[in-house]
Amino acid sequence: MVGAFESDQFLGMTNLNDILTDDFDPTAVVTEPLPSPVTTNGTEGEENLKKTNGVGGGGGGGDREMVLGRNIHTTSLAVTEPEVNDEFTGDKEAYMASVLARYRKTLVERTKYHLGYPYNLDFDYGALGQLQHFSINNLGDPFIESNYGVHSRPFEVGVLDWFARLWEIERDDYWGYITNCGTEGNLHGILVGREMFPDGILYASRESHYSVFKAARMYRMECEKVDTLISGEIDCDDFRKKLLANKDKPAILNVNIGTTVKGAVDDLDLVIKTLEECGFSHDRFYIHCDGALFGLMMPFVKRAPKVTFNKPIGSVSVSGHKFVGCPMPCGVQITRMEHIKVLSSNVEYLASRDATIMGSRNGHAPLFLWYTLNRKGYKGFQKEVQKCLRNAHYLKDRLREAGISAMLNELSSTVVFERPKDEEFVRRWQLACQGDIAHVVVMPSVTIEKLDNFLKDLVKHRLVWYEDGTQPPCLVSEVGTNNCICPAHK
């Protein structure tokens, strides 16, 4: 399934065929051209110039230049005032219907080539279309109703209870809420840690999601970036050195349950052991676990280490629009009830309490999460996890057979490989890139057929890219000698 609400009634276009113009082609695809490189004339904007391509700014061809403070949108759909007689002619309604129909066709086409970002596009929420006519807002505390009566708190608490069971914390011992995205979960978890330890130092591996470092800037926290291993997981030897250099201050730590680029899982048990061996008692550190993608997958992987509140962790967050497959960004944040007191405050205007980041929260997101958790259950998610891991190994093996350097971490469905030379190819397959590497995140919606099509396209283009005798980049520093098969390490 491509999208959630396919019915004409939901789209508000019941009589679409009656209002479209004769020359409207519903099969036309609106192509989004690649942005032309932005140039600078060497004035003050030059200092803000940063070359980037995808996520990072390393090698590969076709680098795009971006200037901070300058928009480079290639297209814009203008908002115009209705004509005086539009109410009678219906011209504006017909125009908007045609734009939306063309946009939907574009979404269908782009979904066929979606591989680089961790979104599960296999869902069908048609049953929830009847609820989209309501302004559902879960403002304030999920567990305390406010004066605003159009909310979905019973669904939200049901979802939170499900995740509390998954992460082994009793119902009376946890507090949480459904966030607007994974970043908000990180912002909240780190904020709780900062409020508990105002003079604490935030430790995070260099491969942590950028929102972790955004939190450090927002909260004006001292932050130590910890080195990583080739796999992408935190280097606990370097972590130990940094802890010992700051023994006089509490530690607030972000632990990755799947890093952004390599899908690496930090060793939570080793992190805790390192803290204890460096003299940090449990009342002098706070651990937030960023499980944006793999936090929901790892519980269903055999022999995978457990993320559980039976260990001395403070909070866990996951994204709801990634592995679960919600059609809008959302997430789940769970922390200990004893910790939330440092944030919670009474809000007379709401007749409730609030310890969230945003205040007003999307009341539809809990409905989508509740619906899919009920439909799939633990067994359904286990099957999807197994499918993702199996297909990820298939992709890695096929890449290696084609002579392409590739790496797949043991507890991951993120396949890392050499960065394509052509920016248009990157854009076509919507790959996430950093330096000399790119990745494909194998989600439930990624089939073997799609992977075969990608591999065929990649192999065909590589023949052109390297026909002049140039060699693919060496990826030893990114994926290690066992995974790099460049001419020097074949």
**Residues recognised as catalytic:** 412
Q: What is the DSSP letter of 284?
A: G
Angle, CA 489 vertex, CA 488 and CA 490 arms, to 5°: 105
User: Are the CB atoms for 176 and 211 separated by under 8 Å?
Assistant: no
Residue whose C-alpha is closest to residue 26's, from 99, 96, 111? 99
**Token pair belonging to 140:** 């304030």
- Helices and strands (H, E) in the chain, number of each type: 14, 15
CA distance 185 to 176: 10
CA distance 271 to 290: 14
Residue whose C-alpha is closest to residue 176's, from 292, 17, 343? 343
CA distance 124 to 62: 37
CA distance 407 to 405: 7
CA distance 156 to 361: 11
User: Are the CB atoms for 46 and 168 separated by under 8 Å?
Assistant: no
Q: 3-class SS at 441?
A: strand
